Amino acid sequence: MIAMLPFPDISPEIFSISLFGTTFALRWYALAYIAGILIGWRIVVRATRTPRLWKNDTPAMTPAQVEDLLFWVILGVILGGRLGYVLFYQPGVYLSNPLRVLQLWEGGMSFHGGALGVILAGWLYTLRHKVPTISTGDMVCLGLAPGLFLGRLANFINAELWGRPTDLPWGVAFPTDAAQYCPDVAGICARHPSQLYEALLEGLILGSLLIWMAWRRGALKREGLIGGTFLAGYGLARFAVEFVRQPDAQFVSEGNPLGLAWHVGGVGLTMGQILCLPMIVVGLVLILRARRRPA
């Protein structure tokens, strides 16, 4: 018998109430978004209230400006994440029925789209309020990791975005019919808990590294170093996890069982890996640029 871990009996809903014939539920995924944003906001506010972390002991923004920026970031995450999913993963489906774009309750959010939305929102904010663009990006990146960590944990609780089948002892038997559809596996199908891999790499490890760099190594004194480290770190972590993550169903075909968005002779890249490459390149450029400048 193959060793595997049973899926924990945790409901995706924390609680639900019925009012006037309609059921309202608080889900772990929504709570993860809320908690992640609040924790990230407090980390950034703490950084702005610690002048020694900044060049010339002058923070790039005030705590009040951080609160104003928070609204722009939330808007960028929601609009960018939804539109990114539509454009990157299922453009044909939504072009045939554009109104489905507004049906957020059906699910479908892209991190890369959300990242682009945050970048655009942050850039517009800096232009309007005349604050340093790159340093603002550093602050936003400093506060993103808690949301990534909690969001991936919520993905695990929802039994979604699981990995490919595995016979490793920490493989998880996800309970959904889709997760148990493994033609090459006899009996119960265990899969890589890729959500937990991402929570560890993109959330806990990368977030801890950024906080250590900011508070112990003076990284906020070098514009772009925190932002570049986040972009390159996330890109590399996600690129690696894609090798064990279940491929996107829309890219899977008889001649392409791995769901590669680009491939030649069965060797290629998933859509997630393709979208990570620009992040890695831009991140490395920002890191090199920051290191060449005096602190």
Lowest mean pLDDT among 108-117, 214-223, 245-254: 108-117
Contacts of 178 (CB under 8 A, 6+ apart): none
What is the enclosing helix (H) or strand (E) of 28? helix 28-48
Provide the token pair at 171.
Answer: 């493989």
- In DSSP terms, 13 is beta-bridged to 27
Contact 36, 203 (CB under 8 A): no
- Backbone φ and ψ of 165, nearest 5°: -55, 145
Provide the token pair at 168.
Answer: 């490793």
Give per-residue pLDDT as tens, 87-146. 666 666 556 666 655 555 455 667 677 788 888 888 899 999 899 999 999 999 999 999
Confidence (pLDDT) at 236: 97
What's the CA gap between 12 and 252, in Å, rounded?
28
* Site of tokens 């970048």: 119
DSSP state of 284: H
Name the residue among 244, 195, 209, 137 with its Cα closest to residue 7: 195
Give per-residue pLDDT as tens, 25-56. 778 888 888 899 899 999 999 999 999 999 99
Name the residue among 188, 292, 205 with its Cα closest to residue 240: 205
**Taking the model in full, what pTM does it have?**
0.86
Name the residue among 136, 77, 134 with its Cα closest to residue 293: 134
Q: What is the mean pLDDT of residues 234-262?
A: 86
Provide the token pair at 290.
Answer: 């920051």
Confidence (pLDDT) at 207: 97
Confidence (pLDDT) at 192: 97
Question: Which residues in 76-224 belong to E strands, given as ranges?
Answer: 172-173
Contact 180, 196 (CB under 8 A): no
Confidence (pLDDT) at 80: 76
- In DSSP terms, 267 is beta-bridged to 264
What's the CA gap between 49 and 66, in Å, rounded?
11
- Sort 89 into a burial class: Cβ within 10 Å, 0-12 / 13-18 / 19+: buried
Give the CB-side neighbour count of residue 287, counting CA atoms within 13 A: 14
